[in-house]
Structure 1
């Protein structure tokens, strides 16, 4: 019998357990490839205060039935209806099943509901599959001087904007 992946449900962060899953997923991949920056620690340590309360959201992908969080993505709100798609992670055991694609699509939809006039992101050239995913979703590369925020992550050498 062919393998059929478990259905995935995407929903907004709601509990401290959700916040913990968001932090753990992100700390794992960031510290595995890069250095966890103070800005990472601040956002990951308080997603309700740093992301949700200012008008953004954290979306979590769960395996339906098991209710295990297997992926996440954040939308950080900035002035002038600008949102950053950030902190996307998929658990290593769940990669390759389209969860990242689902999360990016859900984040774009949620940004529109939140009134986004612009959505941007920063990533790294080491993350080829992620860059391809973002391009498929309609993001295009922009130079650093077109980034709508200052003091952005040192590891972000690929900057993109949703067109």
Structure 2
């Protein structure tokens, strides 16, 4: 018997009620269980009220089981959480897709929705960074038109920095 294809809808968190526990579970599974963030760091990094303050949460919702399947944050230039982007530039933070929904193109759909959101907001560029060990994410970003512009070290970890120009 063939497994039915799952269906997802992409939306901003303000359009649908996303519970704090869903955000926390997703980020913990992706980043802590994935070995990218230490549990002690996750407490502050993934506190849902702080995550929501970063910017526009773009979420993927699995329709059949009504679950949060993935998310990414578009951080605007006026956000206190902006780290590298300049004037009229946005950042992408915390792209994550739950393990059971990976390899279905969901990460790509979230990145495309984030780029569309940034484009509609009139931003000229998107900046992001990803740990050196996140090879799948790097391939995704590069295939979505992001260029590797250098490396940086932060909190004892090495990152690749990417950017994508979106408006002239």
Fold shared, TM-score > 0.5 on shorter chain: yes
Q: Is the 8 A contact 1:26 1:89 kept in 2?
A: yes
Deviates more, 1:77-86 or 1:92-101: 77-86
Is residue 138 from structure 1 mapped to residue 137 from structure 2 by the alignment? no
In the alignment, structure 1 segments of 5+ residues that lack a partner are 146-150
Cα distance per residue 1:38-87 (max 9 Å; x no partner): 59825643233x22xxxx30011011243211111111122422211110
Partners of 2:126 and 2:28 in 1: how far apart? 23
**Residue aligned with 2:61, SS:** strand
Per the alignment, residue 25 of structure 1 pairs with: 26
Per the alignment, residue 74 of structure 1 pairs with: 73
Post-superposition offset of 1:8: 0.9
Show structure 1 runs of 4+ deviating over 4 A: 36-40, 151-154
Per the alignment, residue 41 of structure 1 pairs with: 44
Partners of 2:43 and 2:91 in 1: how far apart? 14
Per the alignment, residue 13 of structure 2 pairs with: 13
Partners of 1:43 and 1:126 in 2: how far apart? 20
Post-superposition offset of 1:112: 1.1
Per the alignment, residue 164 of structure 2 pairs with: 162
Q: Is the 8 A contact 1:10 1:62 kept in 2?
A: yes
In the alignment, structure 2 segments of 5+ residues that lack a partner are 79-86
Question: Greater helix percent: which structure?
Answer: 1
Per the alignment, residue 121 of structure 1 pairs with: 128
CA-based RMSD: 2.6
In the alignment of these two chains, the number of paired residues is 153
Provide closer, same or farther for how the CA distance between residues 153 and 102 of structure 1 changes in structure 2, counting only shifts above 3 A.
Answer: farther
**Residue aligned with 1:85, SS:** strand
Q: Is the 8 A contact 2:151 2:158 kept in 1?
A: no
Q: Is the 8 A contact 2:32 2:42 kept in 1?
A: no
1:99 maps to which of 102, 106, 124: 106
